[in-house]
Amino acid sequence: MSRIICFFIKIFLEYILLYAKFKKYTTKLCSKYFHFVKICDIIQSMEKRCIVVENKKVEYFLSRKNIKNINMRISSACSLSISAPRRTTINQVEELIVSKIDWIKKTQARFREINIKRETSNSVYFLGEKYLLCFIESKFEDIKIEGQDIKVYAGDEKRARKIYDKWLRDYAQNHLTKITNKYYDKISKYVSIPMPEVEIRKMRARWGTCTPSKRKITYNLALAKTPEQCIEYVILHELTHFKHIYHNENFYNFVATFMPDWKERKILLDREYGTVV
Ligand SMILES: [Zn+2]
């Protein structure tokens, strides 16, 4: 009798296991499907158009959304994207492009310049210095800075890149947290929040963001590639948002109290690495 009970218990458990596996699989599949549908929607709603301004072709991607205002954005690859409310006419969009043409040209030119300074597969920037990323085949894994070389010891090149990426991320997390602590100590008596949590992420258009409600500052991983004085400026800038939300006179006066040369640092960051803060 007990053997029969055991048999049914076993069948029951196997059924539960199978059901759990199936559910996990279908959930994964569903989320992938919805993600795919979302991407298709974005691509479908995007329209590539062209306008001639001052005898020059200006290409742009237009997408219509449920928004109130027309937004303009230039990606680091220099492409111009415009999102507009659904009822906006092409004339309205193109009038805006014409009125902003100087800004568009200037921003695209700056990105073009920055793209020249971009990293290649074996030359990287670290704290404002250019280094050669050298892969050395080895049974043990390690990473060392020697002169202008960052030497990565690994089994193969793919693994070496992973080691370098992790090393840069860990470095950014430790280093940027340390400097945030240093500047937080300086400004702590003027702000009412405790030391914020520091997060490092790859970001396309910003050096940093701060979320006062979550007591969190997020820095772009690429900040670790810029010189120390630029890193300090971005950190103080983000911390200042805990005192002044907007970029107004009070905001910059507060920054200047702790960093009188903030303008030079910002210019260096804008000129060499792009305006993103
Ligand atoms: Zn800001």
What's the CA-to-centroid distance between 49 and ligand 1, angstroms? Answer: 32
What's the CA-to-centroid distance between 269 and ligand 1, angstroms? Answer: 14
Q: What are the contacts of 264-271 at 24+ separation with CB within 8 A?
A: 265/229, 265/230, 265/232, 265/233, 266/233, 268/227, 268/229, 268/230, 269/207, 269/226, 269/230, 269/233, 269/234, 270/110
Cα 137 from Cα 141, distance rounded (Å): 9
Confidence check: pLDDT of 189 > 50: yes
pTM of the model: 0.59
What's the CA-to-centroid distance between 274 and ligand 1, angstroms? Answer: 15
The CA–CA distances, whole Å, from 93 to 38, 197, 268 equal 25, 41, 33
What's the CA-to-centroid distance between 211 and ligand 1, angstroms? Answer: 11
Q: For helices 249-258 and 157-187, what crossing angle results, to 10°? A: 100
What's the CA-to-centroid distance between 209 and ligand 1, angstroms? Answer: 7
Q: Where are the domains of the chain?
A: 43-116, 126-273
What's the CA-to-centroid distance between 250 and ligand 1, angstroms? Answer: 13
What's the CA-to-centroid distance between 225 and ligand 1, angstroms? Answer: 20
What's the CA-to-centroid distance between 176 and ligand 1, angstroms? Answer: 17
Confidence check: pLDDT of 207 > 70: yes
* Per-residue model confidence (pLDDT) at position 220: 94
Distance of CA 154 to the CA centre of its chain: 28
Q: Assign domain 126-273 to a CATH class.
A: alpha beta
What's the CA-to-centroid distance between 77 and ligand 1, angstroms? Answer: 23
What's the CA-to-centroid distance between 244 and ligand 1, angstroms? Answer: 9
Neighbours of 172 (CB within 10 A): 21
The least confident of 42-46, 59-63, 93-97 is 42-46
Q: Give 130-179 pLDDT, tens digit per residue.
A: 899 999 999 999 999 999 999 999 999 899 999 999 999 999 999 999 99
Could you tell me which residues come within 8 angstroms of residue 242 by beta carbon, excluding any fewer than 6 positions away?
187, 191, 193, 196, 210, 212
Cα 228 from Cα 225, distance rounded (Å): 9
Confidence check: pLDDT of 43 > 60: no
What's the CA-to-centroid distance between 238 and ligand 1, angstroms? Answer: 6
DSSP conformation letters of 196-252: PEEEEE--SS-SEEEEGGGTEEEEEGGGGGS-HHHHHHHHHHHHHTTT-SSSSHHHH
What mean pLDDT is predicted for residues 254-277? 83
* Per-residue model confidence (pLDDT) at position 76: 67
* Per-residue model confidence (pLDDT) at position 24: 60
Six token digits for residue 29: 């599949």
Mean pLDDT over all residues of the chain? 84
Confidence check: pLDDT of 27 > 60: no
What's the CA-to-centroid distance between 263 and ligand 1, angstroms? Answer: 14
DSSP conformation letters of 164-185: HHHHHHHHHHHHHHHHHHHHHH
What's the CA-to-centroid distance between 236 and ligand 1, angstroms? Answer: 10
- Indicate the DSSP class of residue 192: -
The CA–CA distances, whole Å, from 67 to 63, 70, 88, 110, 258 equal 11, 8, 11, 29, 39
Cα 82 from Cα 216, distance rounded (Å): 30
